[in-house]
Amino acid sequence: MTLVTLNDVLKPAQSGCYAVAGLVTLGWEDMRAYVEAAELEQVPVILQAGPSCRAHTPLPILGKMFRYLAEGASIPVVAHLDHGYTFDECQEALDSGFTSLMFDGSRKPLQQNIDETAQVAELAHSAGISCEGEIGFVGYSGGENSSGTDPSEAEKFAVDSHVDAMAISVGNVHLQTDKSDGLDENRIRAIEAACNVPLVIHGGSGVPTHQRRRLAQTSGICKFNIGTELRLAFGKALRSSVLSDLDRFDRVAILKDTHAPLVVATQQVLRSFKPA
């Protein structure tokens, strides 16, 4: 079994000057493709169950799916709860076999975010797994606006919450379908100067590939979350399969056609985070 914690993969990334991909999953098809791509590239992978995924499939089932894939994998696999909003949700993920809990209190006042994140970190650490928190709100393309991370608040959050990884808001946006302006590197450097915890970028699909590669190799960013970019690749393959024969109706046959294109797209993502 190669099921590991978030700390197990981020600490080596931090010292080795590379990053690990947190890949947002929606179902069996993408989970399986992500692990195959990671094996082909010989890199660790973080399988993430976010709110959309959990709305479709219960956490106990997702935990079994992640662990099943990890058991057959030759590379390290992290089973990660993405954007857990309550302590009870994090507890359920722990009970379901997840090895990493991300508590998102970024919409809350600083001290409340610290206190609630620290509770989840204590829960995780007492069970021998990892915890990620978020300071500074990362907005959504066409939705809520971001609130950038203040470096001094990040320093306090990193120390007082006891997280193993810290997600920051530095120009990144969730659900962005294009790679436009990139990240605020001055803010990133200021946060790095204030704390030494591994940093996480949510909304990594909107970050230009060349910037992702450079920051993975030269900054404290050890984890990039990628979802939208791979959803687009999956959707394109699915659309092509359906339109290739309008009389087809067997979803197993149709979904099978998405596998190879998604593996290739995932390999391209993973390569950008490797060490120089």
How far is residue 55's CA from residue 168's CA, in Å, rounded to a whole number? 25
Asked if residue 222 lies in contact with residue 13, where contact means CB atoms within 8 angstroms, the answer is yes
Angle in degrees, CA 143, 228, 245, rounded to 5: 120
Helix pair angle (259-271, 28-41), 10° resolution: 50
Half-sphere exposure (CA, 13 Å, Cβ side) for 231? 19
Backbone angles phi, psi at 272, to 5 degrees: -75, -10
The active-site residue out of 8, 30, 82, 150 is 82
Catalytic: 95?
A: no
Active site residues: 82
